[in-house]
Each structure stands twice: as C-alpha cells, then as structure tokens.
Amino acid sequence: MTNDRKCRWGILGSAGIAQKNWQAMAHAENAELVAVASRDQAKAREFIERCAAQVPLAQAPDAVGGYDELLARDDVDAIYLPLPTGLRTEWALKVAQAGKHLLCEKPCGTSLEEVERMVEACERAGVQFMDGVMFMHSDRLAKVREVMEDERTIGDLRRIATQFSFWAPEDFLTQNIRMHSDLEPHGCLGDLGWYAIRFILWAMKYQEPKAVTGRLLNASGRSDSPHPVPTEFSGELLFDGVSASFYCSFLTEHQQFAHLSGSKGNLRIDDFVLPYFGNRLGFVSSNARFDCEVCDFRMERREAHHQVDEYASSHSTAQETKLFRTFSGLVLKGETDPHWPQITLLTQRLMMACMESAQKQGKEITID
C-alpha cells in the first residue's frame, strides 16, 4: 500500500530563488505547493502564472494577498521563507507561532541573536527549522566523505580552501537588494560566504574552529543604502591541525571550488554550490608523484575522477528536490531533527565572527 500523503507548502514572498524551488517542490513526490503569498495579491498571481507556464502543477496554488493570511491557513504545513535577510526574523517568528514548519533562506538573520530567536521559537512550537543550503542534500557529499576517509587518497586532512564568486554587472551593484545594508547587511559574505563556511564545517564534521579571521577587501552599496556592504571578503578558520580559507566576491567571475589537501593527496570540487549542467556530479582526487633520476625531474599527475548519478538541477534527483523531499519527510513523520538548526546556528556564529574580525582590521577572534 502506497502512502500518498504530502507536505503542504506555502511560499511567503515571491523572490527569484522561489521560482527554482517551485520546480523542486513539483519534483518532490511528498511535497505539494498550495499557496504563494505576496504583500500584493497581483504579484503573487504573476509569480504563479510565470512559474506555471514553465512547470505546470496538477493544481495551481492559491495567490494570497498578505503574509498573515497565508499563515492563518489550515491547509499549509510548512513555509518556505525567501524574504530578504533584514525582513526575515519578524516573519520567521510568526511562522513558528502559527505552528508551521520553517525552511529559511540563508543567511538566516542579520545577527546570531536573531537566528537563536528563530530556532528557539521553532523548538517551542515543535516545528522543524532548516536553512536552504541545497548542496547539503546532494548524494555527492556522501561520495566525497567516502573518499576523504579511505585512508589512501587524502590521508590526514591539513588544509581546506574554498571560493564562491561571480562578477556582478552594474545594475546589480546599483539596484539589487544584496547591495542594501538594511536588507542584506552582509553582502557577499552572507550571500556567498555562507556556503563556503558551511562546506568547511561539513568537511570538519561540524567541529568548532579555535579562532577565525576576516578581511573586508571591498565594499559598496546602492545609492539608497545607509551603509556599504561587503562585495569582496576573505576569511580564515583555524582548527586543531587543520586550517581553512574562503573567498567570496561580487567582483570576480564565476568560481565555486572546494579543495581539500592532506598528507597523501588532495581532492577538488569545481562546482560545490551550483553543479555544472549535466546528469552526473563529480569531483577529482589527485595523488601526484614526483620522481627524480639525475637530470630528469618528473611530476606525474595521477588523478582519479569520481561521480554520482544525479542531475545538476530541474530533476527529481537534483539537490534542491532532495532538500524539499527531506524536509517534507520530516514533517510527514511528525519528527524534528535538531541537526539542521544546530548547523545553521554554527554557520551564522562563524560568519558573524569573521565580520567582527574584519571590522577590527583582521584581528583573530577566539571561538569559545
């Protein structure tokens, strides 16, 4: 006997990323989108029509004019919240108070205290909290972990290096919400650095670093932004025996690599956040060998390619679909998994510590 129960979703806010997740919900067999809310019902309707033209649903969701109206519905189990970070806390708390499960876009708050309030509200309400980092749900991570721990490819991990960047056109730098300090005060650090910090934490099995440093390399803002926001940022996380760096930027064209180095070799992922188009996700390990025979100096590459069968996007196997499948599964089981809010809090904490360091000219910040 098959179980055809579905987690009933509402989208609170019609941000661009919600269009991708419309499709993710459509591909997740245990999820159903029932309503989309905007402050203006006409905007919600436009969002629905635009998405349905490309990915039609068996039943079109309702267009709701007002966020409170969405939260008052008894046919919604979970809320996907893609509002700007500066507006998110108020509505995250209201989602929890309404007894709805919360999938929250990242960075989840403008401060650690805000995210702590969200998580505590969800705990009191007995609802699931999770952030929207899609790569956490990819099958590729399990394969990476397998290779990391095979004792011959990497050996003892010593160094992690990550970068996530894109070159933003002028209209982005002068108009986008990520360039307004009231809406997205952490700029590229919150938008891109969050992923890099999360990957480092995943690689370290969520061990806390001893200390962090951060450097604000560039900053600017929209003409109506009260303060500039980071547009180029680098950071360092220092663990016992392992160091990790990240670079994030709106000023450097597309790169999204993660590189793990150890006593025996290294591993690199060239697309750890947004997989390159295709039906397989991969990474490369290297155990280069240097030989010297008198005058003949030779470096041999010795690479191995590893893959998993998984579409990059827009498919039932894609990582964004697996995010909604995992979250919906928890809701339908009536369970909450504390792992997800715990790693959100740790990611936010380290991001804020890196920002504090940058504000203090790169001073090392101890993580207690």
Distance CA(239)–CA(70), nearest Å, equals 44
Residues sharing a CB contact under 8 Å with residue 249, sequence separation 6 or more, in sequence order: 165, 166, 188, 192, 217, 218, 231, 232, 233
Task: Pick the closest to residue 272 from 236, 319, 237, 230 (CA basis).
Answer: 319
Residues sharing a CB contact under 8 Å with residue 334, sequence separation 6 or more, in sequence order: none
- Structure tokens, 33: 């989108």
Task: Pick the closest to residue 163 from 111, 214, 97, 233 (CA basis).
Answer: 233
Which DSSP state fits 15?
-
Residues sharing a CB contact under 8 Å with residue 357, sequence separation 6 or more, in sequence order: 212, 213, 214, 215, 235, 363, 364, 365
Neighbours of 159 (CB within 10 A): 13
Residue 2's SS3 state is coil
Which of 6, 100, 106, 322 does the annotation list as catalytic?
106
Our answer to whether residue 106 is catalytic in this structure is yes
Which DSSP state fits 135?
G
Distance CA(331)–CA(8), nearest Å, equals 10
- φ, ψ for residue 6, nearest 5 deg: -130, 150
Residues sharing a CB contact under 8 Å with residue 5, sequence separation 6 or more, in sequence order: 30, 332
Catalytically active residues are 106
